Chain A
């Protein structure tokens, strides 16, 4: 499929010749994100300004062409996949940090700004931006807003929606408006709250204003090893159960530890069944007290090799292993299928136990690396996409894991989004009336259904829950 010539010409007029991609060999670069799905866009358009976004959106509306906003393509739920073709609206040229105001502790950025670049810029003022997804070296603020991204330190600090003050939104008809703003108690319905996490299905974001926080005076990082994933999860439950909410509380299982150690030499004991990483921050005095209390609770659950990072370098190394964990899993199998369910924290030991059983039943290696303090699981099912028979097992195992999460009172996704990966399962957690209420919002903001179509809601064009039945997969795209 290709867009009609006059449309392509108009797009080129709007953004400039070199910023429209329509040749197949170039388009394949944009057919994927960090999920296992793929679909070819008909064109990739790289606007350089809000005005160009508006004009592209208006043109697409006139010709009824789907628009899928896209940042760095690091999303894990297929949010940036052009399921129905159309235009991939690649915002990475819009990457200016427009303002950092140390007095109001805010930053205004374009959507293509990389999370880590914002962190670095804020850091020069003694400030930081709290959401820290593991892909932060690549992922964009626009993508973070679209997915309502989290990260390890969201345990204490909250997710993206807690830190976005306002956004400039281009709606489906090309009108543009700021939603939210600096002042508290905004008048009227909370459109900003609806847009954050709406996965590009309600509007395209062209500017974002975020809150920054002062860098804490002290940070203590603890690493503790445990004989089993069950003992580690019990330790997590005990910490939270004792009303302690550290800045971050992350877990890695044995499979992950092995891969991470080989890649990063972060110093995790490879004979451990699980490793916990704990960050505590605040005033020097409070940190020490809290660290001692947490240490006591870890010890009670058979922790061994408990280590406190001696300096920033050691802390960075311990965290590098965690942040790079998913990449390191490539040493075991070339592909992963990663779920993102969240359960009430007390159900973690039971759910993790069941997750590893499912892995065994389907004969698939599973690596767990996740936000334990939030009850936010990340089981990575490891496989090789070239092995077509494996894929069926991978999807079935993933579905069973999600079912376990939902049966435990949990939800389908904590921070990665629903996209096309879990939309078929939405009826597990939402009744037809619940989904109908959400569809009312969609029909108001995108009546023609042109913004990122086929996402979040069960796909009316396919009742098959299997990704491989609904979308291309990288294997077919001859990436191998």
Chain B
């Protein structure tokens, strides 16, 4: 359990949500710095922590607490892995459409804290679109829930969204509820070496792919899903060659110890990626505006890429990098103009900076 070279004094693995909240409050009360961890797949995200006293593992919270196939919802504790959840949902012909990189082994808590998503985002959006309920432990020992277990809900503030992607800085995720989706009736994977032009054509189809990935070498892989006749027609219109559906699991396993995520308006992605070194190794989702850059090695090229991304109204975030590089360029980049409001929000939840101090933007 090492985060940017720091090792914790103690590792805690609470067996219940209440116990986790209690341990968090104790540590916070003692002025200790706590870093919540799940599958440990993305410990490299964020700036190097200022301190690291207690590792608070969520893997002891490992129950799928309520699964209703007919309601198309699921409630799950933070320590359950995505693979286990999807195996369970698969029995009812359903799935949670998250396919993040650095798989397998992500926990649900980690995915909520990092807001990580993958290629399927093109069709299903991110957890922001299907997270319907959340419970977090706060540094004062309280457990606070938001949302619920229904697919549509405007009761109270949507604190689900406050915590999603906040890297635990406003509370440690202990449980989440999701709207889940039926597995597509029919699916094919097709590929092409047609680069950006073919990507554009695929995105203009009446039935757009559910995932479309483009490599820095111009290789394209698309996933078409829907009813059999619709998929057949779309595959014919596209005219790419059939490819191995096993690609997607291999693709999701991609990661690096110095990688970055570039997120820009989709129309700007091509130009922003053109600013990277010619030999850069990346996979892009042209329909989404996201690219993962797997060899973001030195400060100069990272800064160059970030300038291009930010000039386009987007961001470049380091997902993992040596601490020295993070200190040099920063994990997050230029904060938005509303950063002061964000800081005050964090103060309202974690005034003593007990959770991952220094890692998040605020």
Contacts and interface: CB of A to CB of B under 8 A. Distances in A.
Interface in A228-273: 237, 240-241, 243-245
Interface in A394-426: 409-418, 422, 426
Interface in B242-291: 261, 263-267, 288-290
A241 B70 contact: yes
B153 to A, nearest CB: 5
Contact of B156 (A193, A418, A444): A418
Most buried by B among A159, A177, A283, A414: A283
A189 B229 CA distance: 42
A194 B338 contact: no
Contact of A237 (B70, B156, B336): B70
B267 A103 contact: yes
Interface string B213-236: 000000000000011111011100
A183 B315 contact: yes
A286 B345 CA distance: 46
B10 interface: no
Contacts of A159: 152, 154
Interface string A423-466: 00010011101111110111111000000000010000000000
A435 B338 contact: no
Most buried by A among B121, B143, B338, B347: B338
A360 interface: no
A185 interface: yes
A293 B233 CA distance: 20
Given A188-B361, A444-B344, A412 B155 contact: yes
Interface stretch (A38-46, A111-119, A343-351): A343-351
A371 B152 contact: yes
A429 B148 contact: yes
A342 B151 contact: yes
Interface stretch (B30-38, B54-62, B105-113, B164-172): B164-172
A104 B263 contact: no
Given A162-B125, A375-B151, A188 B157 contact: no
A240 B156 contact: no
Contacts of A190: 128, 161-162, 164-166
Interface residues of B, number: 85
A182 interface: yes
Contact of B70 (A240, A374, A437): A240
Nearest to A203: B341
Nearest to B230: A286
Contacts of B227: 283, 285-286, 289-290
B156 A177 contact: no
Nearest to A216: B206
Contacts of A434: 144-146, 156
A147 interface: yes
B93 interface: yes
A219 to B, nearest CB: 13
A104 B166 contact: no
Given A285-B229, A433-B142, A410 B313 contact: no
Nearest to A437: B144
B154 A183 contact: no
Contact of A415 (B138, B152, B230): B152
A235 B139 CA distance: 46
Contacts of A148: 154, 158
Contacts of B332: 187
Interface string A166-182: 00000100000111011
A410 B150 contact: yes
A429 B229 CA distance: 45
Given A183-B289, A189-B362, A433-B144, A285 B154 contact: no
Contact of B158 (A185, A196, A285): A196
A413 B69 CA distance: 23
B152 A198 contact: no
Contacts of B289: 182-184
A414 B152 contact: yes
Contacts of A456: 156-157
Contact of A193 (B128, B264, B288, B317): B128
Contacts of B346: 189
A191 interface: yes
B342 A188 contact: yes
A186 interface: yes
Nearest to B233: A285
Contact of B348 (A103, A416, A443): A443
A380 interface: no
A197 interface: yes
A479 to B, nearest CB: 28
Most buried by B among A285, A410, A417: A285
B71 to A, nearest CB: 4
A154 interface: yes
Given A183-B312, A285-B233, A342 B341 contact: no
B46 to A, nearest CB: 12
Interface in B317-357: 317, 332-333, 335-339, 341-342, 344-349
A422 B162 CA distance: 23
B138 A437 contact: yes
A198 B157 contact: yes
A123 interface: no
Contacts of A197: 154, 157-158
Contacts of B73: 344
B150 A411 contact: yes
A430 B156 contact: yes
Top 6 closest A-B pairs, CB basis?
A193-B161, A243-B182, A183-B314, A286-B230, A285-B229, A437-B144
Given A187-B317, A190-B161, 13 more contacts: A184-B289, A185-B290, A190-B128, A191-B341, A193-B158, A289-B228, A374-B152, A375-B152, A376-B152, A413-B155, A434-B144, A441-B348, A444-B347
